[in-house]
Amino acid sequence: MSALCSARAALPLLASSALVSIVASCAAQGEAPLRPLVELDGSTDAPIVIPGPDAAALQLCTDGRWCAVASPVPAPYSFNGIWGSGPANVWIVGSPDIAIHWNGVDFSSARLGTKQTLFGIWGSGPTDVWAFSTGDVLWHHASGDLRRMEWMASHGDAGGESAWTSPVHGMWGRGAADVWAIGSANGGLGQATVWHCDGWNGGAPGWVETRTTPGAMPWDSEPSFNAIWGDPDGEVWVVGDGGKTRYSSGWKDGAATWVVVDSGTSLPLHALWGTGNEIWAAGAAGTVRRFARQPDGTVTTDDVAFPNRATIRALAGFASNDIWAGGSDGTLAHWDGTAWELVDIGVEDATSREIFALWASGPEDVWAVGRNVFLHKGSTLLPGTATP
Amino acid sequence: MNRGKLAGAVLGASLVTVAALSACNAPLRAGIDTAPDGDGTRFTSVDASSNDASAAEALLCIAHECPAPFETCPDKSGLCTTDLSNDVEHCGACDVRCPAEAAGVDAFFICAEGRCQMICRENAGDCDHLVDDGCEVALDSDPANCGACGNACAPGEICWQGACGCPPGTSVCNGQCVRLSSDPQNCGACGNACDQAPASAVTWRCGEGVIPDGATVSCVNSRCQTICQGSRSDCNNDFCGDGCEVSIEDDAKNCGACGTKCTDDQICFDRKCLCDPGSTRCSFSCVDLQSDPKNCGACGNMCPGPEGSSGSAVCVMGRCSYQCAVGYGDCDGRLENGCEVDLTNDVRNCGACGAQCDVAGGQPCIGGKCLTGPCDAGVIN
Q: What is the pLDDT of residues A28-55, one digit of tens each?
A: 232 223 333 443 333 333 334 444 445 5
* Distance between A96 CA and the closest CA of chain B, angstroms: 6
- CA A3 – CA A26 distance, rounded (Å): 14
- Determine, for residues B317 and A163 on separate chains, whether the beta-carbon distance falls below 8 Å: no
Confidence of residue A379 (pLDDT cuts 50, 70, 90): confident
- The share of chain A scoring above pLDDT 70, in percent, equals 77
* Distance between B254 CA and the closest CA of chain A, angstroms: 21
Cα distances from A27 to residues A11, A19, A21, A196, B297, in angstroms, run 19, 12, 10, 22, 30
* Residue A78 confidence (pLDDT) above 90: yes
- Determine, for residues B319 and A80 on separate chains, whether the beta-carbon distance falls below 8 Å: yes
Task: Give the ipTM.
Answer: 0.81
- Determine, for residues B34 and A371 on separate chains, whether the beta-carbon distance falls below 8 Å: no
Mean pLDDT over residues A198-219, rounded?
84
- Optimal mutation site among A80, A117, A226, interface B, most CBs of chain B within 10 A: A117
pLDDT score for A205? 79
* Residue A341 confidence (pLDDT) above 80: yes
Long-range contacts of A292-299 (CB under 8 A, 24+ apart): A299/A247, A299/A259, A299/A261
* B77 CB-side CA count, 13 A: 5
- Determine, for residues B290 and A287 on separate chains, whether the beta-carbon distance falls below 8 Å: no
* B292 CB-side CA count, 13 A: 21
Task: Please report residues of A whose CB lies closer than 8 A to that of B277.
Answer: none
- Determine, for residues A167 and B36 on separate chains, whether the beta-carbon distance falls below 8 Å: no
Mean pLDDT over residues A180-208, rounded?
82
Task: Please report residues of B whose CB lies closer than 8 A to that of A286.
Answer: 35, 37, 333
Identify the segments of chain B with pLDDT beneath 70.
1-58, 102-104, 376-381
Backbone φ, ψ for residue A367 (5° rounding): -115, 145
* A222 CB-side CA count, 13 A: 27
B315-352 residue pLDDT tens = 999 999 999 999 999 999 999 999 999 999 999 999 99
Task: Please report residues of A whose CB lies closer than 8 A to that of B283.
Answer: 159-161
Mean pLDDT over residues A344-357, rounded?
85
* Residue A18 confidence (pLDDT) above 60: no
pLDDT score for B293? 96
The SS3 of residue A300 is strand
- Bridge partners of residue A171, in order along the sequence: A181
- Determine, for residues B317 and A159 on separate chains, whether the beta-carbon distance falls below 8 Å: no
Nearest to residue A120, comparing CAs of A300, A364, A357? A357
* Distance between A117 CA and the closest CA of chain B, angstroms: 4
The SS3 of residue A22 is helix
- CA B208 – CA B214 distance, rounded (Å): 17
- Optimal mutation site among B41, B280, B281, B299, interface A, most CBs of chain A within 10 A: B299
pLDDT score for B46? 37
- Determine, for residues B29 and A351 on separate chains, whether the beta-carbon distance falls below 8 Å: yes
B99-135 residue pLDDT tens = 877 666 788 899 999 999 999 999 999 999 888 888 9
Nearest to A117 among B34, B39, B297 (CB): B297
- Optimal mutation site among A115, A168, A312, interface B, most CBs of chain B within 10 A: A115
- Determine, for residues B34 and A311 on separate chains, whether the beta-carbon distance falls below 8 Å: yes
B379's enclosing H/E stretch is none
A322's enclosing H/E stretch is strand A322-327
Judged by phi (left if over 0) then psi (alpha if -120 to 50, else beta), residue B300 lies in left
- Determine, for residues A267 and B300 on separate chains, whether the beta-carbon distance falls below 8 Å: no
- Determine, for residues B290 and A96 on separate chains, whether the beta-carbon distance falls below 8 Å: yes
- Determine, for residues B296 and A163 on separate chains, whether the beta-carbon distance falls below 8 Å: no
pTM of the model: 0.76
Please report the DSSP string for A57-126 in residue order.
PEEEPPTT-EEEPPPSSPSS-EEEEEEEEETTEEEEEEETTEEEEE-SS-EEEEE-S--SPEEEEEEEET
Mean pLDDT over residues A66-85, rounded?
92
A222-275 residue pLDDT tens = 899 999 999 999 999 999 999 999 999 999 998 999 999 999 999 999 999 999
Task: Please report residues of A whose CB lies closer than 8 A to that of B289.
Answer: 96, 115-117
pLDDT score for A200? 84
Nearest to A95 among B29, B40, B297 (CB): B297
Nearest to residue A123, comparing CAs of A200, A49, A34, A183? A200
Mean pLDDT for chain A? 80
The SS3 of residue A43 is coil
Task: Please report residues of A whose CB lies closer than 8 A to that of B281.
Answer: 159-160
Task: Please report residues of B whose CB lies closer than 8 A to that of A356.
Answer: 319
- CA B105 – CA B133 distance, rounded (Å): 6
* Distance between A60 CA and the closest CA of chain B, angstroms: 30
Nearest to residue A185, comparing CAs of A225, A156, A216? A225
Range name among A201-215, A357-371, B53-67, B147-161 with the lowest pLDDT average: B53-67
Is residue A299 a contact partner of residue A249, using CB atoms and an 8 Å limit? no
- Determine, for residues A329 and B282 on separate chains, whether the beta-carbon distance falls below 8 Å: no
Is residue A267 a contact partner of residue A285, using CB atoms and an 8 Å limit? yes
B294-316 residue pLDDT tens = 999 988 889 999 999 999 999 99
Per CB distance under 8 Å, which residues of A are interface residues toward B? 76-78, 80, 95-96, 115-117, 119, 133-137, 158-161, 163-165, 167, 266-268, 284-287, 308-311, 328-329, 351-352, 354, 356, 371
Nearest to B297 among A77, A134, A371 (CB): A134
- With CA atoms as reference, the chain A residue closest to B281 would be A159
Long-range contacts of A208-215 (CB under 8 A, 24+ apart): A208/A6, A208/A10, A208/A254, A208/A255, A209/A10, A209/A11, A209/A12, A210/A248, A210/A255, A210/A256, A210/A258, A211/A258, A212/A238, A212/A246, A212/A248, A212/A258, A212/A260, A213/A246, A213/A258, A213/A260, A214/A258, A214/A260
- Determine, for residues A96 and B297 on separate chains, whether the beta-carbon distance falls below 8 Å: yes
Distance of alpha carbon A243 from the chain centroid? 19
